[in-house]
């Protein structure tokens, strides 16, 4: 079987997943915000394969989903240098198995398309896909695999950063659930507001989406960095899949008939 490298270029981190067949055998990530040349990316990728004693010549395809356009020139060149391959970029015109039924399909980010493809193929439709990243996204996929609606809200880390930077006396804090909502100090009170407040947001938006779409039994699938913190505190999330985005890119690779 071939190895396929999938790369999720997000606003905060770049995540790599190496598939052998349909299984992810290894994952790693680097920071997105630090600008790098193609040579620097090449060194990082090569050193990772060397460190883990994996023969990079076994990689027969690379798929990239990116919401950060300004890193793509250097990054794509690094992929070409490292593997001698032209990466498959998730964008309009490739096969995803998902139709985009919104006012302007070009506005739908590749990360949301990838998540939708994964959720529909793995868990069916209708489904509501939540991705807890830099922003938190709520995407509705109908029973036919069409992306029909989207909600976007500030991510929980953005909310925490705003408290720390826009108020003179509040500190930067770790986002964890406090022992109780009945906080007795500044840090616990901020953590309570962030975590429990976010749980309330998630529950209201999911319930409202289901009600207005008339999909009371839609499967709710969550992924992203803070999904685990939130899903442990609510019963509106049916499935927590931390690898949803990476799986979606592999599904899209297969749909484009590259994996033979």
Q: Which residues are tagged catalytic? A: 111
Secondary structure of residue 230 in the 3-state scheme: helix
Long-range contact pairs involving 207-213 (C-beta distance under 8 Å, separation at least 24): 207/236, 209/128, 209/138, 209/140, 209/149, 209/151, 210/128, 213/126, 213/140, 213/142, 213/148, 213/149
- Taking residue 249's Cβ as centre, other Cβ atoms within 10 Å add up to 27
Q: Is the peptide bond before 249 cis (omega within 30 degrees of 0)?
A: no
- Taking residue 223's Cβ as centre, other Cβ atoms within 10 Å add up to 25
């Amino acid at each position: 079987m071939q190895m396929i490298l999938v790369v999720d270029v997000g606003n905060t981190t770049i995540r790599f997943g190496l598939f052998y067949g349909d299984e992810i055998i290894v994952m790693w990530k680097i920071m997105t915000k630090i600008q790098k040349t193609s040579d620097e990316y090449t060194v990082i990728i090569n050193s990772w394969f060397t460190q883990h004693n994996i023969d990079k010549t076994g990689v027969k395809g690379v798929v990239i989903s990116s919401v950060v356009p300004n890193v793509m020139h250097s990054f794509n060149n690094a992929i070409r240098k490292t593997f001698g391959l032209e990466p498959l970029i998730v964008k309009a015109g490739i096969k995803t198995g998902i139709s985009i039924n919104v006012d302007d399909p070009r506005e739908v980010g590749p990360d949301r398309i990838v998540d939708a493809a994964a959720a529909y193929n793995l868990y069916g439709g209708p489904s509501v896909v939540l991705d807890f990243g830099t922003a938190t996204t709520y995407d509705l996929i109908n029973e036919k695999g069409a992306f029909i609606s989207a909600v976007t809200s500030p991510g929980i880390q953005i909310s925490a950063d705003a408290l720390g930077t826009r108020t003179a006396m509040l500190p930067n804090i770790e986002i964890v659930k406090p022992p109780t909502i009945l906080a007795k100090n500044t840090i616990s009170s901020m953590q309570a507001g962030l975590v429990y407040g976010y749980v309330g947001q998630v529950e209201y938006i999911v319930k409202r989406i289901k009600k207005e779409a008339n999909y009371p039994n839609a499967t709710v699938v969550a992924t992203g960095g803070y999904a685990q913190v939130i899903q442990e505190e609510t019963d509106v999330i049916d499935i927590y899949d931390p690898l949803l985005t990476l799986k979606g890119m592999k599904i899209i690779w297969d749909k484009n008939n590259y994996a033979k």
